[in-house]
Amino acid sequence: MKNKIIGIFVCMLLIAAAVLPVAGTINIDKKQEKSEFEEQSTMAGGTFEIKQWGSPYTHIIDPIEGPQSAKDFYDYSAETGHPHQFSGDTPYMEDYVSKIYLYRQTGNDKNVSLIIHHCIDGSNAGECREIFYLNGSVLEDSRVWTSVSDDHGEFYHLRSLSPEGSWTHETHSDGGVVGGIPTEDEAWDIYVDPKFNENITKWQYQLEDKVISLEMDKFIRISYKPPCGIIDQKQENTDEIHWLEHTVPNWQQFVNHGKTLCAVELHIGCYFSGSAAITLSIEETVGGSPLTQVTYAATDLPDNTQAWFSFDVPDVELECNKMYYIVLRFDIGSEYGWSGTHGDPYPAGISSHPDDDWDFAFRTIVDEICSPPLELKIVVDGGFLGYTVTVTNLGDEPVNGSLDITVTTDATFTLLGEELSFEGWDFALDPPNPDSRNLMPVLGFGPATITVEATAETPDVIEAHYSGNATGFVFLIFVVGSCELTPDPIP
């Protein structure tokens, strides 16, 4: 059975006047100026992430970029003073430390390289041994290569097998590069399972300006997800900041019009690096089972500023034209701010903010739109013998469907037409041509309360229900008053 979606239309009489309240504002001491980056959307490019087995955190990782090719950046050479000891040279090498990271040559959006290196030339760590097993179907791609093996046979890649590394070194660095990993096509995962002897004391994922510490006895998954598509729902006004509470869920409603949700972007910031991890989930009801969710460490979020940040949730299929909740949760001892504004800038939903007219800043990213939302303008005009109802398609494409409407006139004295309605008004609207119908007769006298309810429905189950009321006047067979209806939030 098709669900009826109920909303509200505020009607204005031609002969009446109304005074609208002015929305209040909240003074925020830590309100940030807009940064040059805040309008950028991570959906514009693919997303890289790392997650370690047993950890609740997913980290966003941007490849280190440089003007050199991966081979030149690694700087593979034989200048170690020993005929069988070959070495690489990058700015990120440290003694006693094994590092792994993605590298991309500036301007190259077709592939990335995975760089691994252990220790540093002139090491004092003693004899070090590392064994790495790499797995992932993308590594069997014909475009993927293993170019650098510091010593012959230590790091190899047969096309039918995944790359493996087995290094032994004492006073120099060791490692290798897996290059040509494609970033044009499908999503991929690369799993790295390491083993170290006691002379390697740290394993880290290297970012441009910091490291992510890794547990040395657990494998990691490095993932790539290509841009998933387009913005569906959004509220991009970021005038104010609301400081989030850990004691309650923080949420924003949205009406989904996409087929598969693959990311949610929030204008958000973290103001204490020791904050607990933050989890974003999509829920049908707040507190219900998450349909999808992802958790990020506080250090992954914008630091001491507000900016757009992409929560790359596992893809989930959602129902079209249905209300869902974006929910944020975190533990005590955290300081997060989520931008938004007053004035009901997203009328299709509400939020957990204590003020009814506040909406948080968000974007939902989907693969494609399931069907366009209804963009109808419905006008009810009073006149001779009753009312004229006019429907106009404000969208860009033709739309067809049906409309049920009821107009109730509660005058001081009503002889005829207290309730007028019709069902199944089939419309086929090419923008911007309107379609009109009459509702009559009305016979009465005196001031009247006019109540309107209407439901529009299309064959692909896009529905919108409208309702509202206004004061008017009935003078025998003439109704004075006019109102324009617009879609209201889905409950």
Q: What is the mean pLDDT of the chain?
A: 82
193 is a domain residue: yes
Task: Tell me: pLDDT of 83 over 50.
Answer: no
Q: Which of 366, 400, 423 is the last residue of a domain?
A: 366
Top mean-pLDDT range of 243-247, 309-313, 323-327, 370-374:
323-327
57 is a domain residue: yes
Report the pLDDT averaged over residues 102-106: 93
Report the pLDDT averaged over residues 410-425: 90
Place of tokens 């002969």: 15
Task: Tell me: pLDDT of 297 over 50.
Answer: yes
What is the per-residue pLDDT for 90?
A: 66
Same domain, residue pair 330 and 472: no
CA–CA separation, 263 vs 191, rounded Å? 23
CA–CA separation, 254 vs 489, rounded Å? 9
Phi, psi for residue 446 in degrees, rounded to 5: 110, 170
What is the per-residue pLDDT for 77?
A: 57
Report the pLDDT averaged over residues 102-127: 86
CB-count exposure of residue 413 (10 Å: 0-12, 13-18, 19+): exposed
More confident residue, 186 or 26: 186
pLDDT in tens, 447-458: 999 888 888 877
The domain of 155 spans 46-225
Q: Which two tokens stand for residue 138?
A: 């993308």
Share of the chain above pLDDT 90, in %: 46
CA–CA separation, 449 vs 410, rounded Å? 5
First vs last Cα of the chain: how many Å apart?
Answer: 18
Phi, psi for residue 74 in degrees, rounded to 5: -65, -30
What is the per-residue pLDDT for 488?
A: 62
**Domain of 52: which CATH number?**
2.60.40
Angle at 366 between CA 304 and CA 105, to 5 degrees: 60
Task: Tell me: pLDDT of 27 over 50.
Answer: no
Place of tokens 């004035």: 343
8 Å CB contact between 116 and 132: yes
Angle at 386 between CA 383 and CA 389, to 5 degrees: 80
Same domain, residue pair 263 and 336: yes
Phi, psi for residue 383 in degrees, rounded to 5: -175, -155
What is the per-residue pLDDT for 149?
A: 54
What is the per-residue pLDDT for 489?
A: 53
**In sequence order, what E strands does 239-285 have?**
240-243, 250-256, 260-270, 278-283
pLDDT in tens, 344-378: 999 889 999 999 999 999 999 998 888 666 778 88
CA–CA separation, 272 vs 468, rounded Å? 46
Same domain, residue pair 54 and 195: yes
Q: Which of 345, 366, 387 is the last residue of a domain?
A: 366
DSSP annotation of 355: S
382, 419, 379, 385: which is closest to 403 by C-alpha? 379
Same domain, residue pair 211 and 243: no
What is the per-residue pLDDT for 73?
A: 83
31 is a domain residue: no
Same domain, residue pair 359 and 389: no
Report the pLDDT averaged over residues 229-234: 89
DSSP annotation of 32: P
- Comparing 22-31, 278-287, 389-398, 423-432, the range with the smallest average pLDDT is 22-31
Angle at 374 between CA 370 and CA 377, to 5 degrees: 170
Report the pLDDT averaged over residues 210-228: 91
Q: Which two tokens stand for residue 305?
A: 């500023």
Report the pLDDT averaged over residues 75-102: 67
The tally of domains found in the chain comes to 3
Task: Tell me: pLDDT of 459 over 80.
Answer: no
Same domain, residue pair 254 and 395: no
Same domain, residue pair 150 and 62: yes
Same domain, residue pair 242 and 120: no
19 is a domain residue: no
**Domain of 319: which CATH number?**
2.60.120.820
1 is a domain residue: no
pLDDT in tens, 44-56: 468 899 999 988 8
338, 383, 363, 334: which is closest to 483 by C-alpha? 383
Q: Which of 225, 242, 268 is the last residue of a domain?
A: 225
107 is a domain residue: yes
SS3 state at 140:
helix
Task: Tell me: pLDDT of 14 over 50.
Answer: no
Same domain, residue pair 334 and 428: no
More confident residue, 18 or 74: 74
Same domain, residue pair 347 and 411: no
CB-count exposure of residue 159 (10 Å: 0-12, 13-18, 19+): exposed
275, 326, 327: which is closest to 302 by C-alpha? 275
Q: Which two tokens stand for residue 8?
A: 């509200």
SS3 state at 482:
strand
Share of the chain above pLDDT 70, in %: 82
- For 37-83, the three-class secondary structure string (H helix, E strand, C coil) is CCCCCHHHCCEEEEEECCCCCCEECCCEEECCCHHHHHCCECCCCCC
Q: What is the CA radius of gyration of the chain?
A: 31
- Comparing 57-71, 113-127, 213-227, the range with the smallest average pLDDT is 113-127
- pLDDT bin (cut points 50, 70, 90) of residue 23 is very low
Same domain, residue pair 328 and 180: no
What is the per-residue pLDDT for 385?
A: 92
Same domain, residue pair 169 and 244: no
Task: Tell me: pLDDT of 67 over 60.
Answer: yes
Distances (CA, A) of 467 to 11, 90, 300, 361: 9, 66, 45, 28
What is the per-residue pLDDT for 293?
A: 95
What is the per-residue pLDDT for 44?
A: 44
317, 465, 290, 454: which is closest to 387 by C-alpha? 454
9 is a domain residue: no
What sign results for the dihedral spanned by CA atoms 224, 228, 231, 233? negative
What is the per-residue pLDDT for 206?
A: 93
17 is a domain residue: no
